Amino acid sequence: MENQQQRRMVVQDMHFIKELFGNFDENIKLIKKHINIDIISREGELILIGEEKNLRLAEKLIVELKNVVKKGESLTIQNVTYIINMMLEGNQDKIKDLVGDALLITAKGKPIKPKTLGQKQYLEEIQHKDLSFGVGPAGTGKTYLAVAMAVKAFRNEEVNKIILTRPAVEAGESLGFLPGDLKDKVDPYLRPLYDSLFDILGGDKFQKYMERGLIEVAPLAYMRGRTLDNSFIILDEAQNTTKEQMKMFLTRLGFGSKAVVTGDITQIDLPRGKFSGLKHAITILKDIKEVGFCYLTDKDVVRHPLVQKIIQAYDLADKMKTDS
C-alpha cells in the first residue's frame, strides 16, 4: 500500500524479543491485529512496517513492554492486551503503575501481583481499610486477591486466623437434605475458596492450617452469634446474601480483624422477592469513610480474553433491555 512506511528499532536483548513474540508468536500477532502493523525480527533489529501513526504507536508500545520485562514481568496475552488498550485510551502514563513487587509467592513459586489498575486499587482498599467491598464481574480476581491478602496478613502475624465464608443459596442454607456429613454437605459451595487457598499455600500447609483451626472455611449461616477477633474474614458471593444475613456478617467484626466482601451484583441467585444484602450494604454504607469500595469492570478480567467479550455482550444486552 502507498502509505506503508518502515521503521527500524535496535533491540539486542534476546530475552525481550522472546517475551515480545510470545509462545507461537501469540503476542506479536496480537500487536499486529490491534495496531495494524507488521513486525519482523532480524539480527538485533525489529523492523516495523505500517502507516505512520500506527508506527509511532507501535514504537511507544515496544518501549513500554521493554520496561515491563526489565522489571521482571513476563508478557502474556492478558497484560499485552491491557497495555495496548491503555495506550489506545491515552493512559500511557499509568502503565508504570502496573509494575511492582509481588504481593506474595505461591507454593509453586508463582508471584501474585495486581494485573490491572482496578486490581491495584482493590488491593490498596483492602490494605488500608478494616472493611472493604470488591464488586465486579467474574474473572476479575476478587476472591483470589482477597485470599492472597489474607495469607499475607497471616504470614506477617497481623491476624491469627483466616475465615472464609459464602452463602449456600442453592440449598437455602438448610443443608440437612443433602447426603453425607456436614463437610460433604457444604464443600460444593465452598470449593472455590478451598481452591484459592490450596493454590497459594500448597496442599500440605493448607491441610496443616485447617487441622490446627488457623483456617476456617464455612457457610455463612455458621457465622451467626460469633465475634471474630484478630481474624481476616472474607465473605464471597455476597450478592446472594439477604439484608439480614449481610447485617449479621458485618456485625461479627471484632478487634484486630479485617473483612473483605466480594460479589457480582449481575449474578444474584436469591429467590424472587429477596433483596440482595450486597446491593443494600453498598447503598447504606457508601458515606462511611472507614469502609472501602472498589468497583471492578470487564477491563479487569484476567481470565481467557473471551470472558471479557462475554461480559461486555451481557452488559450491552442488559442496557438495551433497560432502554427499551
Domains 5-98 and 104-323 share a fold: no
User: How confident is the model at residue 185, as a pLDDT?
Assistant: 58
For residues 24 and 74, what is the distance between their CA atoms, to the nearest angstrom? 15
Tell me whether strands 45-50 and 104-105 are parallel, antiparallel or unpaired. unpaired
Decide: helix, strand or coil at residue 118.
Answer: helix
Residue 31 scores a pLDDT above 60? yes
Q: What would the DSSP string read from start to end of 223-265?
A: GTT--B-SEEEEE-SGGGSBHHHHHHHHTTB-TT-EEEEEE-T
Residue spans of the domains in the chain: they are 5-98, 104-323
For residues 254 and 232, what is the distance between their CA atoms, to the nearest angstrom? 10
For residue range 182-210, list pLDDT tens digits in order: 555 566 777 888 888 999 999 899 999 99
Q: What is the CATH number of domain 104-323?
A: 3.40.50.300
CB atoms within 10 A of CB 5: 12
DSSP state of 275: P
CB atoms within 10 A of CB 247: 14
Confidence of residue 323 (pLDDT cuts 50, 70, 90): low
CB 108 within 8 A of CB 270: no
| Angle ∠(104,110,112) on CA atoms, nearest 5 | 40
Q: Catalogue the long-range contacts made by 248-254 (C-beta closer than 8 Å, 24 or more residues apart).
A: 248/223, 248/224, 249/165, 249/220, 249/223, 250/131, 250/281, 252/223, 252/226, 252/227, 252/228, 253/130, 253/131, 253/228, 254/227, 254/228, 254/229, 254/230
Q: Regarding the domain delimited by 5-98, which CATH topology (the fold level of the hierarchy) does it fall under?
A: Ribosomal Protein S8; Chain: A, domain 1 (3.30.1370)
Decide: helix, strand or coil at residue 217.
Answer: strand
Task: Give the contacts of 305 (CB within 8 A, at least 6 positions apart).
Answer: 77, 78, 81
Q: Lowest-confidence range among 75-84, 99-108, 195-204?
A: 99-108
CB atoms within 10 A of CB 250: 18
Mean pLDDT of the chain: 87
For residue range 221-254, list pLDDT tens digits in order: 888 888 899 999 999 999 999 999 999 999 999 9
Residue 110 scores a pLDDT above 90? no
